Amino acid sequence: MRCPFCSHQETQVVETREGDEGDVVRRRRRCLSCDKRFTTYERAEIALPAVVKKDGTRAEFEPAKLRASMLLALRKRPVSIEQIDAALARIEEKLLASGAREMPSTKLGELVMRELKRIDKVAYVRFASVYRSFEDVDEFRQLIRDI
């Protein structure tokens, strides 16, 4: 670690502590050249895959957009915020576990539909009707029969 005061390359770790929630490591360092002390923080970098849209453009994965679309499908449904948060966490876990750098939006949509089907069938049908762009009532009937 380079010293922020004199730019010397060698520093010594004097003390290491874990953050309150265990997600950050705090290190006190001392420069071996100018003897000044400074603090650094270390945290894990989590890289979720980029989303490849139907038109081929790429966008950064945004959990807030995913949450908003799920909340829209779940509007006025008897589903707790805890259930929604758990579903979102399961989706993010699957994205991380995939190890992929990019994910088609269609696959992300399928993950959302799987979670909605699990927690609320009506929300699942709402989301699927928009996601799959149903054109007529027969497509709705088929989806409901599949449930």
* Residues in Cβ contact with 143 at an 8 Å cutoff, skipping those fewer than 6 apart: 125, 128, 129, 132, 134
The predicted pLDDT at position 124 comes to: 86
57: left (phi over 0), alpha (psi -120 to 50) or beta: beta
Largest CA distance in the chain: 76
- Structure confidence at residue 99 (pLDDT): 85
pTM of the full predicted structure? 0.64
Taking all residues of the chain, what is their mean pLDDT, rounded to a whole number? 89
Q: Pick the residue with more confidence: 95 or 47?
A: 95
| pLDDT tens, position by position, 116-143 | 999 999 998 888 877 766 666 677 677 7
- pLDDT at position 34 is 97
Distance CA 128, CA 113 (A): 7
**Mean pLDDT along residues 3-28:** 91
List pLDDT tens digits, range 54-71: 899 999 999 999 999 999
Domain ranges within the chain, ordered by starting residue: 11-43, 50-146
- The strands making up 102-104's β-sheet, listed across from edge to edge, are 58-59, 50-52, 102-104
